Structure 1
Amino acid sequence: MQEFEPLNLDDLLSFESNSTLVITVNNRYARRLLGQLSMRVERTQSSLTIPAIVPFGAWLRQISDQLCFVAGYEPAAHEVDNFTSHLLWQQAIRACEEDGYFLDIAQAARSAAEADRLQDEWKIRVLPPEHTADYEHFLQWRSAYRQQLQQLDLDDANTSIERVLTAIRHKAFALDFKRLVVLGFHEFSPRFTDLLEAIQAQGVQIYRLIVPEPIASHVYCHSAIDTHDEWHQAASWARQLLDADPDAKVAIVAPSLETQIPLVHRVMRKALSDQGQSVHAYNVAAARPLAEWPFARAALSWVKVLAVLATERHAEPSVLASALLQGLCAGGQAEAGGRALIDVIWRERQELSITAERFQQALYEHAPILAQAWEQAYALTVQAPRLQDSMAWAQHWRKALEILGFPGNVALDSAGFQTLEALQHALQQLAAQAPAWGAISVQYAQQLFSLKLRETPFQPQRAAQARLDVLGFLEAEGGRWDAVWVLGLSDAVLPAVVRPNPLLPAPAQRRMQAPRATPERELAWARLIMHSLLRSADTVWLSYPQSEGEQLLRPSPLIASYPRHHFEPSRATQAIPAVQVEWYHDEQGPALTSQERTAGGVAVIEAQARNPLWAFVRYRLHARQLPAYATLADMNSRGLFLHHLLELLCVALPDQQALQHALSQGRLPSILGQVTQEAAQAQLGDYGAVLQALEIERAQAILANYVELELHREPYSVAGIEQQHTWQYEALQLRLRLDRLDRLEDGSCVLIDYKTGSGDFRLKQEWLRPRPINLQLPFYAVVLQEQGQNVVAASLARLHARQVELVGMGVEGLVLTGLIDWPDGHSWGALLNSWRQAIHQLAHEFNIGVASNQSVNTDDLRYCDVLPFLRLHDEREDQDEATQ
């Protein structure tokens, strides 16, 4: 670093403020210095004025504005922000790499923008022997990018700095200060050094402000078992200090805080609360994308709905429901139930697409207040010009959201107000970048808005009452607390791993000692960070995890010399008097009454067999998980298609004799093709031509294999397809539907149920257990047997491209492919009897309200749609505590 005359705060206050400028490395240093100077002035009760304190980036923008009035050095008409700059880099890369040199264009743009800045900031000159293929591509991108800027009359931050440097070097204008004070710069890059030398050449005296902070008098080194243990230890330490002195200022510093936010909040809430009540407030200095905050997420959803419907006149239900469920619109909480009901209806009806007219109709039916607002906002968007600049679209979104009632009638807290301000600022920034985009469509404007919010970090201002700060390395730099715990200090973190820019040749970066280019530079940076952290408090704890997953870790060499101490929380645990605990197992619901109607068919008994509480919640309380949104790739569409296809085949060929005649006469292929086409027209109407053709081809192959199985069975005739049956046991009445019932020559019956999935058939494990599951066929067999039918077999027919088969159980000697051999001591008659007893017992349990939370094994609950009611995680936690 270039040496300049040092001075302290008193020296700074002695300077004439009107001719002194302080430049800080960032906003944090500027705010802290301003606070320190203000306190000194207040203590001395003097009337001294404080000099201008400006972050370096803001000062450069001020100088750039002044150049507007300097002939020959005028800046471009507009300066793009980093967001727009990265998108322009992406456009340049796509234009240069039509053959897809990079798959991740966004990452390539980030690397290119960094390489562009590094090359100018550090004066990296690449020698001819050092050229690489990546560097050659970068040069092409850079040329195309700069050409874009020139054509559009734009500057970015890098070209703006170059323009300012050139103007000051040529003394194109007089500087309005005589003394320049720099603060917070650990090093001066070659370009920054040139800038300071050019300022000195105009007679400006440059100083380096020194704000001395005493080094910590108590430094402890602690090793934790792993990352989780380390965070728990640090949080317990903070709780101990705050309990002893609620006015203490404490900080926990982590190198990779942004990747651990959920863990941090979970640990802090637990450590700083008693019996669920927060005892100490804390602040986590880590920003999330603005798009993830509720108000911004809702605004994005409504803007997307407007853009999609105005352009396409239809949208997927999930797009519309995203806005409806987030609300923050006209109708607010009063119509929240109606908006949710719209979503439920679309899910249950398996809607694939909703037109603008149907959306409007649904709103008028279930959310009339919102419907009126939506009609106006939608008309405004439809009537907007097809192409206009981002400034006009930003104004349009603002007006449309206002018409929609955004942000509703919710009470706004401080974070809500700040989120809305950030959202408004993002719209303003998008509008300011209009020259970079020109006239754009409504959908592209919506995509820009969404991308802008996703790439805009946001964090509400620090809570004033918080005495505990959780920060990253950079946020902690220059701060001062009573005590600090720095965690995560393994040898892989401090010093960090070398990561030179991938687009610039590594030798050229090493030659100029560019950031992240050499181990020596990373070590120097690590020492600077450690120097700052050891001056952030009088007491400093330094810790590292001994492992991360299966990887063993070592402490950073920078903390190896400090004495090891094991932290033990000294806060005494308050003795809780023993109380008598009364347990009440609520496993019995009210009995089913004759007035109750239970929908669900065999699924009711199936759920009772798998878990009685599941059956009670699902069919007595009518609680269930919402179905997923329908998609063309939904396997249910394929299942309906195959079921319908087999139904048509049974109508066309109602018995084995008809099938054999069609085969012998050569008519079978045409019959199979005809029924396949008819089924496709009925069930695959939403499929495109190519996808429909593929499904038909697949179905014909499956059908041909299945027909082969039918030809080798005992002679049969199809006696029923999708037959409806009613079964009643006590107060329970169920409606049943059987896929297929075949009649053999002796009058006996064979039951067939079609399965279009690829899962394993485990009939012995499922049908022979005391509480049988997968009960469709056993249930139908019992019902028909009770009605006087002679059922001799129950078989599952797998209809899948990988395998077509019949698997089932039946009387011995029956010619039916796939019948399972009987275990010792079992027979078909005995099995039917055991099924009848089990089904009657399950039905009786359901009738009297048995709702015990019991399952034979966890696989029984694989497809349970009321898992939160079963509270299985609580049981697992109890088991874990018991084992500990």
Structure 2
Amino acid sequence: MSARTTMLTPNRRLAARLHKIDRQHQINNGRKAWVTPDILPINNWFQRLFNDYLNQYALASPLLLTSFQEEFIWEQIILSTLHTSLLQLSKMVEMVQAAWTLSKEWHVDMHHPLFNTIDDCAAFQSWATLFQKMCTDNDWLDHASLPDFLMNKMIAKQITLPDYINLFGFTELSPQWKKLFAIGEQQGVTLHMVTSLSSIKNNVISRTRFSNHDTEITTIARFAKTIARREPDAMIGCVVPTLEKTRDRVMQIFSEVFSDEKTYGISINPPFNISAGKSLSRYPIIHTALLLLNLYDDVISSETFSYLLRSPFLGEAEAERMQRARFDYFIRKKNINIIYLKPMLNQQNQPSLIKNCPSFARRIQQFLSFLDQEKKINGYGHWSQVFHQSLSLLGWPGERSLNSEEYQVVENWFKTTLQLARLDDILQPIDIKQALKALQHILDQAIFQIQTPEASIQILGTLEAAALPFDYLWVAGMDDRAWPPQAQPNPFIPRRIQRTLHMPHATAERELFYCQQLIQQFKQSAREIIFSHAEMEDDLPLQVSPLIQDLPEIECVQLKLDPALVHSEYIYHSRLLEKLVDDVAPPLPINEVAHGGVNVIKQQALCPFKAFAEIRLYAQPLESPLPGLRAKDRGTLLHLALEKIWEELHDHQRLLELDETALNKLIDECIIQTIDQVADVRNKSNYFILEKKRLHRLIYAWLQIEKNRQPFTVSMQEKSVRLTLDKLTIAIRIDRIDEFSGGKKLIIDYKTGKHNHINNWFGDRPEDPQLPLYALLDPDCTIGVSFAELVPGGCGFKGVSQYSIDIKGINPIHEVKACKTIVWQEQIVHWKNTLHKLSNDFYDGVAHVDPKDPYKTCLWCALKPLCRINEASENNG
């Protein structure tokens, strides 16, 4: 290329590839220094011409709007004319902007009468008029109008043009661009269209098919890996038309295929490059920054707070990580859904952040104090500075060294946030909420791709790959639904106008022609080209595209791919399994009281490994806060309310003496005391008003059943005691013990669920050993054990007794089919032997994987990845 030659491309990637090709050409010719050719994307060229014009004439206007500025102007215009709110305003603005660009590029007559015949088109016409007026009044210039502005200056000979312009990789030029280049030719510019750098003849082109998309992408990755091993210098193109949507999955598959036998994943510099970026806001370090800035609101969800507690991207995250992890666990355990920051920063309140995580708390205090000093209304530029200072106070981006990806993202963050400040040129000052909303929107729209070293394997979208030269090219997704796609005309321009002007995506014929051009470019791009498609997507059958149907079809075996197994397959096929019998843990220390209470025996009966993992290893999943109360919390409220009621009543006689008014008053008072005790600041919410009513109805219905019993005295409530079972000592808590005349006792356990079966008390591995355990406390005086089910519409007892005690639902032992004896004391002895056996097994460390019922026991168990019962079953099968 001569010094007065400019080469224009439709996108950045193609321009970068041409620079690389030229650089390699100069090196191959032995040159050590050379003039860098003028190669750049066409939109960058337009902007360069504009800047050169301003500099040449020392002008400060017009102001060339950024894409974000344009978007916010369109948004303001649309909102000012609509009388209802939009659920997807950003999507609508995007489509309106696209319509405006199309109307300028294709010379649409905005005064055409067809606009008035369709509501959406008429609305766009009025918005476009307002947009043009705002730009004229404020001396603004939008990017869609920039070529028209340049044409006027070219005609006036106020812009210097190159002698030669080469257009490379364009499938077509819009009428607006054609007119601009025609004016250039009139002024002596020589224009040349270059469709491809490749002059390959007799290249090999074929097609193949796959059962699904994942198999297709996996095979493409294997193909690329095979070629790269065989020809290290070969350029390999992998085209995925849906790359913007499937980027993460494609990245995952390629990473798995390119991982080696010993490790999962790939090095920091992978042998492939994926072109599709993602929104800056989707990178964890930026997502954390936005969440931190939103702490200004003082009220945040527990989910967000938990994320920040565990994030490495804020001050002292490493030094204070254990305290923050414990505090996160505490928040989850207490089922706190909403975090009120200012009360939490008080040492006297519970939970107290300042007491548990002092460094994090101090940073939040500094952040909130700093914001309190700011005016409520400021310009966007000022808020941009405030956000940077705020993040610094909060210790963002963290104390540890950033890796390459994080460093690049943070650098791009600082560049992108400058766009927020530039909104001052077009918008009025706002409050912090609106400023954060604007920042969020800018970061959502800013697409960023991590810069990696040049790689021989390129994963690209369709438009990026067109006209790029490769040695090998594989184009995926060539099915009949996508090639050609259905027409998608812009809804804000009348369809008849779009059809008449042959505008992009306007008609099926237009889509067909465009796809034919792309495929023709692909066919000239490499010496070996493979097109492929999946036969199924979302349960819908797919056929090969008619545009490639005439190509010879090949089977995958003909490609002779290396057995590039993914990491999991390497492990599976190696079959190098080390067998180690390790199902007995060290015994408990002497005289240690096992934590977990009754649950120790219950889990040991269900599965010894489950008991060991959950109780001795503390291997339990973290709880997630839920709206309102958890089931166990509602149970706690009921237990405490009944405890307070029976502290007042004490016995059956006192219950009978209360009239309805006094009984309802007692129930209300005890419920209020309970909720005040348990619910703390949340008890004023409407939720707890409803909870009070629910508890009242439930307790009142239960006490009506209690009235119909024979006389009794409540001798013990919510009593914590230690129970020794041969070697093992556990702490248990008994809900209630009723005493009859003669000192005989009935042990009661409150239940707030329906599915309680006394059959689970019996057998060698009782699934619910709670009441059998309680019966061992005082076996001589205990004559019965029973659940007390308090459920709406179904309150009642479920139990077993030595003999009939005249309580509905408590059956004498000889009537219980699950019991193998009809003698009460024999059953007590059987329970003792069974429970001693289970407790001794736990004490001695018996921890083999042995679920009582593999389906029921394992169904909701979170330990399957640890015990690997499924893998063990496969190997044994």
Shorter chain as denominator, the TM-score bin is 0.7 to 0.9
Higher alpha-carbon deviation: 536-545 or 835-844:
835-844
Residue 211 (structure 1) aligned with residue 203 (structure 2)? no
Q: In 2, Cα distance between the equivalents of 1:143 and 1:764?
A: 78
Q: State the shift of 1:734 in Å.
A: 1.7
Name the SS of the counterpart of 1:753 in structure 2. strand
Map of 1:565 onto structure 2: 554
Q: In 2, Cα distance between the equivalents of 1:387 and 1:107?
A: 28
Question: Is the 2:593–2:729 contact (alpha carbons within 8 Å) kept by the matching residues of 1?
Answer: yes
Map of 1:10 onto structure 2: none
Q: In 2, Cα distance between the equivalents of 1:132 and 1:827?
A: 85
Q: In 2, Cα distance between the equivalents of 1:815 and 1:502?
A: 77
Matched residue type, 2:378: Q
**Gaps spanning 5+ residues in structure 1: where?**
1-12
Question: Is the 1:709–1:817 contact (alpha carbons within 8 Å) kept by the matching residues of 2?
Answer: no
Residue of structure 2 aligned with 1:528, choices 517, 538, 544 = 517
Question: Is the 1:169–1:199 contact (alpha carbons within 8 Å) kept by the matching residues of 2?
Answer: yes
Map of 2:93 onto structure 1: 109
Question: Is the 1:182–1:209 contact (alpha carbons within 8 Å) kept by the matching residues of 2?
Answer: yes
Residue of structure 1 aligned with 2:405, choices 412, 415, 424 = 415
**Which string of whole-angstrom CA distances, capped at 9 and with x for unpartnered residues, describes residues 335-355 of structure 1?**
433443443344445555353
Residue of structure 1 aligned with 2:456, choices 467, 491, 509 = 467
Distance 1:370 1:472, change over 3 A: same
Higher alpha-carbon deviation: 561-570 or 39-48:
39-48
Map of 1:675 onto structure 2: 670
Q: In 2, Cα distance between the equivalents of 1:570 and 1:630?
A: 51
Matched residue type, 2:404: S
Map of 1:287 onto structure 2: 277
Distance 1:673 1:622, change over 3 A: closer
What are the equivalent positions in structure 2 for 1:787-802 lying under 5 Å apart? 788-800=780-792
Distance 1:203 1:479, change over 3 A: closer
Q: State the shift of 1:762 in Å.
A: 5.3
Matched residue type, 1:674: E
Q: In 1, Cα distance between the equivalents of 2:95 and 2:809?
A: 61
Residue 392 (structure 1) aligned with residue 382 (structure 2)? yes
Question: Is the 1:752–1:797 contact (alpha carbons within 8 Å) kept by the matching residues of 2?
Answer: no
Q: State the shift of 1:325 in Å.
A: 2.1
Q: State the shift of 1:867 in Å.
A: 5.1
Residue 869 (structure 1) aligned with residue 843 (structure 2)? no
**Which string of whole-angstrom CA distances, capped at 9 and with x for unpartnered residues, describes residues 510-569 of structure 1?**
333332222112212222221222223211122222223532221111221112211124
Name the SS of the counterpart of 1:258 in structure 2. helix
Residue of structure 2 aligned with 1:184, choices 169, 189, 200 = 169
Map of 2:489 onto structure 1: 500
Distance 1:35 1:735, change over 3 A: same
Residue 700 (structure 1) aligned with residue 693 (structure 2)? no
Residue 225 (structure 1) aligned with residue 214 (structure 2)? no
Residue of structure 1 aligned with 2:480, choices 473, 477, 491 = 491
Query: Sequence identity of aligned pairs in percent?
Result: 22
Q: State the shift of 1:849 in Å.
A: 0.4
Residue of structure 1 aligned with 2:425, choices 420, 425, 435 = 435
What are the equivalent positions in structure 2 for 1:841-880 lying under 5 Å apart? 841-855=837-851, 856-861=853-858, 864=861, 866=863, 868-871=865-868, 874-875=871-872, 878=874
Residue of structure 2 aligned with 1:62, choices 41, 48, 66 = 48
**If the length of structure 2 is used for normalisation, what is the TM-score?**
0.85
Q: State the shift of 1:394 in Å.
A: 2.3
Q: State the shift of 1:373 in Å.
A: 6.2
Map of 2:339 onto structure 1: 353
Map of 1:234 onto structure 2: 220
Q: State the shift of 1:476 in Å.
A: 2.0
Residue of structure 2 aligned with 1:343, choices 309, 318, 328 = 328
Distance 1:35 1:275, change over 3 A: closer
Residue 779 (structure 1) aligned with residue 773 (structure 2)? yes
Matched residue type, 2:509: E
Matched residue type, 2:180: L
Q: In 2, Cα distance between the equivalents of 1:598 and 1:460?
A: 52
Map of 2:531 onto structure 1: 542
What are the equivalent positions in structure 2 for 1:161-180 lying under 5 Å apart? 163-164=149-150, 167-168=152-153, 171=156, 173-180=158-165
Q: In 2, Cα distance between the equivalents of 1:25 and 1:572?
A: 38
**Which string of whole-angstrom CA distances, capped at 9 and with x for unpartnered residues, describes residues 759-805 of structure 1?**
x505267445642224434433x33454x3324241141435xx443
Q: In 1, Cα distance between the equivalents of 2:630 and 2:147?
A: 55
Distance 1:132 1:705, change over 3 A: farther
Name the SS of the counterpart of 1:186 in structure 2. coil
Matched residue type, 1:677: I
Higher alpha-carbon deviation: 788-797 or 761-770:
761-770
Q: State the shift of 1:178 in Å.
A: 4.4
Distance 1:355 1:658, change over 3 A: same
Distance 1:746 1:95, change over 3 A: farther
What are the equivalent positions in structure 2 for 1:273-672 lying under 5 Å apart? 273-277=259-263, 281-305=271-295, 307-308=296-297, 312=298, 315-331=300-316, 333-351=318-336, 352-356=338-342, 358-359=344-345, 379-464=369-454, 466-568=455-557, 569-571=560-562, 583-629=579-625, 632=628, 634-663=630-659, 666-672=661-667
Q: In 1, Cα distance between the equivalents of 2:684 and 2:324?
A: 31
Map of 1:9 onto structure 2: none
Map of 1:7 onto structure 2: none
Map of 1:6 onto structure 2: none
Q: In 2, Cα distance between the equivalents of 1:767 and 1:451?
A: 59
Q: In 1, Cα distance between the equivalents of 2:575 and 2:617?
A: 34
Matched residue type, 1:440: I
Question: Is the 1:360–1:371 contact (alpha carbons within 8 Å) kept by the matching residues of 2?
Answer: no
Map of 2:799 onto structure 1: 809
**If the length of structure 1 is used for normalisation, what is the TM-score?**
0.85
Q: In 1, Cα distance between the equivalents of 2:113 and 2:59?
A: 31
Matched residue type, 1:514: M
Q: In 1, Cα distance between the equivalents of 2:146 and 2:727?
A: 82
Q: In 1, Cα distance between the equivalents of 2:550 and 2:135?
A: 52
Distance 1:434 1:344, change over 3 A: farther
**Which string of whole-angstrom CA distances, capped at 9 and with x for unpartnered residues, describes residues 293-322 of structure 1?**
3432343343333x34xxx3x655544443
Map of 2:755 onto structure 1: 761
Question: Is the 1:67–1:75 contact (alpha carbons within 8 Å) kept by the matching residues of 2?
Answer: no
Map of 2:38 onto structure 1: 52
Distance 1:524 1:854, change over 3 A: farther
**Gaps spanning 5+ residues in structure 2: where?**
none
Question: Is the 1:350–1:629 contact (alpha carbons within 8 Å) kept by the matching residues of 2?
Answer: yes
Question: Is the 1:488–1:545 contact (alpha carbons within 8 Å) kept by the matching residues of 2?
Answer: yes
Distance 1:144 1:29, change over 3 A: same
Name the SS of the counterpart of 1:540 in structure 2. strand
Q: In 2, Cα distance between the equivalents of 1:675 and 1:360?
A: 30
Q: In 2, Cα distance between the equivalents of 1:451 and 1:382?
A: 25
Question: Is the 1:216–1:536 contact (alpha carbons within 8 Å) kept by the matching residues of 2?
Answer: no
Matched residue type, 2:843: N
Root-mean-square deviation (CA), in Å? 3.9
Name the SS of the counterpart of 1:23 in structure 2. strand
Q: In 2, Cα distance between the equivalents of 1:405 and 1:492?
A: 50
Q: In 2, Cα distance between the equivalents of 1:138 and 1:817?
A: 75
Q: In 1, Cα distance between the equivalents of 2:322 and 2:776?
A: 41
Question: Is the 2:759–2:818 contact (alpha carbons within 8 Å) kept by the matching residues of 1?
Answer: no
Q: State the shift of 1:586 in Å.
A: 1.0
Question: Is the 1:290–1:453 contact (alpha carbons within 8 Å) kept by the matching residues of 2?
Answer: yes
Matched residue type, 1:120: K
Matched residue type, 1:590: P
